[in-house]
């Protein structure tokens, strides 16, 4: 009986591989400039992104302020959706004129916005008279609950016709619109960068945040089907319903053309293969070339792994200085961040409703308790829903039904 379960489980995996390959085969190679609105609308559909759901940032509160030689570091707490609170760190240079602003968007580091690589990047930028804002994404950093149900295991949005990544994108767009009107910010010089999950967020902002004038995603751009076909449990923010019927990564990124873009990729990244990163970059570069603006696109291969290291910070910051018209006055120093960031934590969990409650509020619907991803995206074989008692529960990479539900979500 066990052998039969193994065989059936492997047949199901094989069918999903073929379904993904078929979907890729049927995709046309589109002219991005001619199909730009179509690509933007498809991107919104995948994310369940709706203008009417984008919140207004309010109740911006300064929780702590630290002053250094030529800049301030300010810890901020704010409300986005009703009773739903976020937090971020603002690095503001001491300058008597308006300055560029860079949104530094986080990945999945346990320290969220206070991850060493992000703080090092922010310190380098602010010493060169660039303001930096690092928000904690929904359910990450100081917004992370003990059971990680506000982010990693947050499946309720999908039941309600939303997506976690879409909510993160909409909240970030709200923050961009808020800071665009900041009296110390030059709204014509707003940049964005981020790695891994921050690279994901930057990818979508390339199509959905026209306020951004230069962008630098890293550690993510490749192909959606590669990411979601991985045979392991994904963080909920990686799940993109119907993505195989929507745009490919290079198309989403290419909407940003001809504005300056850098895509960077570590040669030794064990999560995103360099060859896939290069293939994606080739397609984006072609769009810039067709527009006669090839010089505005850069692809960097750094001798690094997945997380940001010195080389990544130098390459990305130099791109941002050039793209935003910043005269560099300080070189990067790879010094220890130190324990001072321990003082920058902000109480958000004790003040905010949960991600589930927020989603129920904005949709007016309720989610059943203990909802599983496979209850929302029921895995199928030969066109029929799978009886989970007939397959293996775990092949060593996690709950099989959950992994199959991730596959099913792509369709």
CATH at residue 358: 3.40.50.1820
pTM score over 0.85: yes
Residues 91 and 45 in one domain: yes
Residues 88/76, Cβ–Cβ less than 8 Å: yes
Q: Are residues 3 and 113 in the same domain?
A: no
Residues 388 and 337 in one domain: no
The predicted pLDDT at position 2 comes to 56
Separation of alpha carbons 47 and 239, rounded Å: 9
- For residues 15 and 101, state if they share a domain: no
- Closest Cα to residue 108, out of 76, 134, 141? 141
In this structure, the answer to whether residues 6 and 53 fall within a common structural domain is no
The answer on 121 and 221 residing in a single domain is: yes
Judge if 114 and 239 occupy the same domain: yes
> How far is residue 135's CA from residue 355's CA, in Å, rounded to a whole number?
16
**Residues 268 and 145 placed together within one structural domain of the fold:** yes
Cα-based angle 266, 308, 191 (whole degrees, multiple of 5) = 100
Q: How many CA atoms lie within 13 A of 198 on its CB side?
A: 30
Per DSSP bridges, beta strands 85-93 and 58-67 are: unpaired
Determine the Cα–Cα distance for residues 197 and 6; give it in Å rounded to an integer: 33
Phi, psi of 302, deg, nearest 5: -105, 150
CA-based radius of gyration for the chain: 21
Nearest residue to 119 via CA among 304, 334, 349: 334
Kindly state whether residues 293 and 396 are assigned to the same domain. Answer: no
Same domain, 202 and 306: yes
Tell whether 14 and 36 lie within a shared domain.
no
| Cα distance between the two ends of the chain | 31
Query: What pLDDT is attached to residue 206?
Result: 99
411 Cβ contact list (under 8 Å, min separation 6): 19, 23, 242, 244, 245
Q: What average pLDDT values come out for the chain (411 residues) when binned by 10 residues?
A: 85 98 96 98 99 98 96 98 98 97 93 95 98 98 92 97 99 99 98 98 99 98 96 97 98 99 98 97 99 98 96 98 96 82 94 97 97 98 97 96 98 98
Domain that includes residue 351, residue range: 31-363
Burial 185-206 (b: 16+ CB within 10 A, else e): bbeebbbbbbbbbbbbbbbbbb
CB of 102 closer than 8 Å to CB of 193: yes
- Give me the number of domains the chain comprises: 2
Give yes or no: residues 331 and 182 share one domain: yes
- Please give the Cα distance from 169 to 103 (Å, whole number): 13
| Nearest Cα to Cα of residue 300 among 264, 260, 274 | 264
């Amino acid at each position: 009986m066990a052998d039969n379960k193994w065989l059936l489980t492997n047949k199901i995996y094989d069918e999903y591989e073929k379904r993904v390959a078929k979907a890729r085969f049927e995709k046309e190679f589109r002219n991005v400039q001619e199909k730009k609105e179509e690509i933007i609308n498809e991107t919104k559909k995948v994310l369940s992104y709706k203008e009417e759901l984008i919140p207004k940032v309010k109740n911006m509160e300064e929780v702590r302020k630290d002053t250094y030689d030529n800049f301030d570091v300010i810890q901020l707490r704010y409300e986005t959706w009703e009773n739903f609170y976020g937090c971020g760190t603002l690095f503001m240079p001491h300058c008597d004129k308006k300055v560029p602003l860079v949104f530094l968007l986080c990945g999945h580091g346990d320290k969220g916005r206070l991850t060493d690589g992000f703080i090092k990047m922010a310190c380098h930028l602010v010493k060169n008279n660039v303001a930096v804002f690092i928000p904690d994404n929904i359910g990450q950093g100081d917004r992370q609950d003990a059971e990680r149900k506000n982010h990693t295991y947050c499946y309720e949005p999908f039941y309600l016709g939303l997506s976690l990544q879409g909510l993160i994108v909409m909240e970030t767009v709200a923050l961009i619109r808020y800071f665009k009107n900041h009296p110390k910010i030059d709204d014509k010089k707003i940049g964005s960068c981020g790695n891994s999950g921050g690279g994901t967020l930057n990818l979508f902002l390339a199509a959905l945040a026209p306020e951004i004038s230069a962008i630098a995603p890293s550690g993510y751009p490749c192909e959606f089907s590669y990411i979601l076909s991985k045979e392991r449990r994904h963080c909920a923010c990686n799940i993109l319903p119907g993505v195989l019927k929507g745009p490919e990564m290079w198309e989403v990124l290419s909407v940003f053309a001809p504005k300056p873009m850098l895509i960077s990729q570590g040669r030794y990244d064990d999560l995103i293969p360099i060859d896939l990163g290069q293939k994606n970059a080739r397609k984006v570069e072609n769009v810039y070339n067709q527009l006669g603006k090839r010089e505005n696109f850069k692809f960097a291969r750094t001798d690094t792994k997945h997380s940001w290291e010195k080389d990544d910070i130098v390459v990305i910051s130099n791109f941002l200085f050039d793209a935003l018209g910043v005269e560099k006055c300080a070189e990067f120093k790879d010094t220890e961040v130190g324990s001072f960031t321990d003082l920058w934590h902000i109480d958000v969990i004790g003040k905010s409703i949960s991600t589930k409650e927020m989603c129920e509020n904005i949709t007016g619907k309720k989610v059943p308790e203990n909802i599983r991803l496979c209850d929302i995206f029921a895995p199928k074989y030969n066109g029929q829903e799978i009886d989970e008692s007939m397959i293996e529960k775990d092949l060593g990479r996690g709950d099989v039904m959950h992994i199959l539900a991730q596959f099913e979500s792509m369709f």
